[in-house]
Amino acid sequence: MVVAVEKNLGGLSSAEYERRLEKFEARINRGEKIEPADWMPDDYRQQLIRLIHVHANSEICGALPEGRWIPHAPTFKRKLALLAKVQDEVGHGQLLYRAAETLGPSREQMIEDLISGKSKFSNVFHYPAETWADVAIIAWLIDAAAIINQTMMAEGSYGPYARALKRICYEEAFHMKHGYEMCVVLANGTKVQRDMLQDALNRWWTPIMMFHGPSDKESKHTAQLVRWKVKLKTNDEQRQQFLKQFVPKMLDLGMKIPDKSLRYDKASDTWLYDDPDWNEFKKVVNNGGPVSQERVEARRLAHRDGQWVREALAAAAERKPVPMPPTN
Amino acid sequence: MDTKAFQSLDCLPGTLREAVINLLYRLADDELVIGHRNSEWTGHAPILEADIAFSSMAQDEMGHAQAYYQMLHQLGEADPDTLAFGRKPREFRCAALVCLPKGDWAFSVLRQFLYDAAETVRLTAFVESTLVPLAQLATKLRGEEKYHLMHGRSWVLKLGVGTEESRGRMQAALDVAYSCALGLFEPTEFDEPLAQAGIAPRESELRRQWESAVAPVLADAGLHVSEAAKPVYGGRVGRHPEALKQLLDQLQLVYNIDPTAKW
């Protein structure tokens, strides 16, 4: 799809804009990172703000489905690991809002946009975590899918985002191990536990297949993002990578994948599958999913109930700094 | 004070053994329950940085609980998971302070401060305990507790002097929490034997130290302790607010699907 867009030249003459653009693209081709103070095309800035903002929103909304199960975690080991994982997700949100701030918008504004429904978050967090096994599936497979996406994005051209993603991927790798281990235990557990795990996979399979975004024939952003090394692989390429890595592992655990047409095609070295309903995906990410309103409401409540705290901190900071006690 | 040291838990004579078991249940249950309460903020705190810090402290408290339960296990009690997930409310020995619902942010940070001050006083005393495994554990935990207390103190001072609303909320929180915090020092029949053996100071002595630690911070924050504040007792003998049962129903939900299963 080719759309004629009037470029925002940022007050530059057309010739000057082209000159700068050429230099900018040459830097990217050489593998250099673009830093906050560097010149960048407005399109690049806006695309990055959109991506990082959605990513940050997804981290703090993603804390909700798993966070709901922290009080119910059934052993010390699980409770400590889950609490640490959800804490990491909130930490990623904080890191990413800061990365987005380097491009202009304030955190306050970005959170306002999330709770007013103006900005989006990942499709998978619009679904409920109904049982303890959902926590295992989320930590294993959604974190796995996220690692595929983020490892790629970490090679991207914008410095602050790439650096944040390096650290995030490192932590996500632990989450995935924690999730896989939970799945192994449930898959080898009692019938109740095995059924719980299969039921969770049945409900999560389609959202996970949608996680990397619309198929390449429908995705409108990809081409330019690839050229500017914001994104290095298409949605379908990422999905294939996920299937190749994880379908065999799921089958090993005795899990049944709820897509009858899923099969490996040797000739093309790809997994063939039933393409998800992308209209459903669009509806979900526009806050029309099963628990979209609940997620946004949880964020709105946290923000609203924290208003007096933020005001008090600002007022206290204007008075005098609180001295730290001796540390011996 | 008797200076005879107990190098291991096995060295404890019968009567002291019972006293130490009771002490460890009090310590472990307080840590587990406040850790659980603090984890209820994960994903919902007023600012992301506070969210992260509270989750971190919740992990520390739960880790401490696990360590105390592990000592209980060495003394012949069930394993840590069974002790945390398999007991009924009346078998818990935690104080009312930790049982109360998380309330607003003012209540949670104030409770955490009062609790951490008590824990610091206790751990500082335990470092000198004649029960060597307890002294060793206290030395380790005290390092973490130092940061909790700095965190709590800083929040109490900021919200105390922040705005009219924040001060009002902190004062309301203190009016409820202070009496319950005094209940952390509920005397038990084991105070005397533990003190005489040099294992742990008397609760009355710990309370005195705690009061002199928290009073200046509360004063600096412009908060007033009501003279009518009376300790809320009962937790150390298994009498708890209704909130503990609700908390344990949550805590034990998945475990109770099948307590014999591996999770």
| Residue B146 contacts residue A327 (beta carbons within 8 Å) | yes
Tokens standing for A280? Answer: 């459903």
Residue A152 neighbours by CB under 8 Å, 6+ apart: A231, A232, A233, A238
Task: Report whether B106 contacts B169 (CB < 8 A).
Answer: yes
> Is B5 among the domain residues?
no
Note whether residue B24 is domain-resident: yes
What is the pLDDT tens value at each position of chain B, 263 positions in all? 445 799 999 999 999 999 999 999 999 999 999 999 999 999 999 999 999 999 999 999 999 999 999 999 999 999 999 999 999 999 999 999 999 999 999 999 999 999 999 999 999 999 999 999 999 999 999 999 999 999 999 999 999 999 999 999 999 999 999 999 999 999 999 999 999 999 999 999 999 999 999 999 999 999 999 988 999 999 999 999 999 999 999 999 999 999 999 99
Considering the domain boundaries, does residue B217 fall inside one?
A: yes
Angle at B57 between CA B237 and CA B55, to 5 degrees: 115
Please, which residues bridge with residue B207 across strands? none
Q: What is the mean pLDDT of chain A?
A: 94
A302 contacts B44? CB cut-off 8 A:
yes
User: Does residue A41 contact residue A22 with C-beta atoms inside 8 Å?
Assistant: no
Is B149 within the bounds of a domain?
A: yes
Q: pTM for this one?
A: 0.94
Q: Is residue B121 part of a domain?
A: yes
Here the tokens at position A104 are 């202009």
Query: According to the model, what pLDDT value does residue A219 have?
Result: 73
pLDDT tens-digit map of A171-224: 999 999 999 999 999 999 999 999 999 999 999 999 999 999 999 888 776 778
Put simply, the answer to whether A313 touches B169 (Cβ < 8 Å) is: no
Residue pair A90/B43 in contact (Cβ under 8 Å)? The answer is yes
Please, which residues have CB within 8 angstroms of residue A251's CB and are 6 or more apart in sequence?
Answer: A257
> Is pLDDT of A4 > 80?
no
- Domain total of chain B: 1
For testing contact with chain B, the best of A59, A78, A83, A94 (most B CBs within 10 A): A83
**pLDDT exceeds 70 at position A261:** yes
Instruction: Give the closest residue to A55 by CA, choosing from A149, A137, A185.
Output: A149
Distance CA A104, CA A49 (A): 8
Tell me if B52 and A91 make a contact (CB, 8 A cut-off): yes
d(CA B112, CA B54): 10
Cross-chain Cβ contact B146/A79 below 8 Å: no
Element (H, E) at B256: none
Residue A321: pLDDT band (50, 70, 90) is low
Within a domain: B2? no
From A189's Cα to the closest Cα of chain B, the distance in A is 7
Chain A partners within 8 Å of B49 (Cβ): 94
Task: Identify whether the C-beta of residue B65 lies closer than 8 Å to the C-beta of residue B207.
Answer: no
Residue linked to tokens 């540390």: A327
Domains of chain A are 22-288 (1.20.1260.10)
pLDDT tens digits for A31-64? 999 999 999 999 999 999 999 999 999 999 999 9
Q: Is B167 helix (H, G, I), strand (E, B) or coil?
A: helix
Test B43 with A90 for CB contact under 8 angstroms.
Answer: yes
Partners of A74 on chain B (C-beta within 8 Å) are: 85, 254-255, 257, 263
* A272 token code pair: 């063939």
A20-31 residue pLDDT tens:
999 999 999 999
- Burial pattern A139-155, b for ≥16 Cβ within 10 A else e, equals bbbbbbbbbbbbbbbbe
* Cα distance from N-terminal residue to C-terminal residue, chain B: 46
Identify which of A255, A256, A272 has the alpha carbon closest to the alpha carbon of residue A264: A272
Query: To the nearest 5 percent, what fractions of chain B are helix, strand and coil?
Result: 70, 0, 30
- Does ipTM exceed 0.90? yes
Which residues contact residue A125 at a Cβ distance below 8 angstroms, ignoring those fewer than 6 apart? A58, A61, A62, A64, A65, A295
Cβ-nearest to B161 among A64, A78, A319: A319
Quote the tokens at residue A314: 């600002």
Query: What is the Cβ-side half-sphere exposure of residue A202, based on CA atoms within 13 angstroms?
Result: 9
Spell out the residues 6+ positions from residue B221 whose beta carbon is closer than 8 angstroms to its own: B156, B157, B159, B160, B161, B170
Q: Is the pLDDT of residue A2 over 50?
A: no
Quick one: tokens of A218?
Answer: 């429908």
CATH code of the domain in which B41 resides: 1.20.1260.10
| pLDDT tens digit sequence for A281-296 | 999 999 999 999 999 9
Cβ distance of A87 and B46 shorter than 8 Å: no
Cα torsion at A262, A266, A268, A271 (round to 10°)?
Answer: 20
Predicted pLDDT at A52: 97
What the block records as the tokens of B194 is 């533990």
SS3 assignment for chain A? CCCCCCCCCCCCCHHHHHHHHHHHHHHHHCCCCECCCCCCCHHHHHHHHHHHHHHHHHHHHHHHHHHCCHHHCCCHHHHHHHHHHHHHHHHHHHHHHHHHHCCCCCHHHHHHHHHCCCCCCCHHHHCCCCCHHHHHHHHHHHHHHHHHHHHHHCCCCEHHHHHHHHHHHHHHHHHHHHHHHHHHHHHCCCHHHHHHHHHHHHHHHHHHHHCCCCCCCCCCCHHHHHHCCCCCCCHHHHHHHHHHHHHHHHHHCCCCCCCCCCEEECCCCEEECCCCCHHHHHHHHHHHCCCHHHHHHHHHHHHHHCHHHHHHHHHHHHHCCCCCCCCC
Q: Taking CB atoms and an 8 Å cutoff, what residues of chain B touch A75?
A: 81, 85, 255, 263
Closest partner CB to A322 (pick from B50, B66, B157): B157
User: Which residues lie below 8 Å from residue B7, measured CB to CB, with a gap of 6+?
Assistant: B132
* pLDDT value for B22: 98
Contact flag B46-A132 (C-beta cutoff 8 Å): no
Which amino acid type is present at position A236? D
Cα–chain center distance at B124: 14
Structure tokens at A216: 């390449």
Closest B-chain CA to A187: B263
Read off the pLDDT band of A320 (50, 70, 90).
Answer: low
Enclosing domain of residue B137: 10-257
Pairing of strands A263-265, A270-272: antiparallel
Asked if A187 contacts A253 with a C-beta cutoff of 8 angstroms, the reply is: yes
Task: Please give the share of chain A, as a percent, with pLDDT higher than 70.
Answer: 95
Q: CA-CA distance, B97 to B112, in Å (whole number)?
A: 10
Q: Does a structural domain hold residue B166?
A: yes
**Token duo for residue B89:** 């409310």
Helices B105-126 & B132-161, crossing angle to 10 degrees? 150
Confidence (pLDDT) at A325: 62
Q: Do B39 and A71 touch (CB under 8 A)?
A: yes
Q: What is the pLDDT of residue B2?
A: 47
Give buried/exposed letters for A172-190 (b at 16+ CB in 10 A, else e): beebbebbbbbbbbbbebe
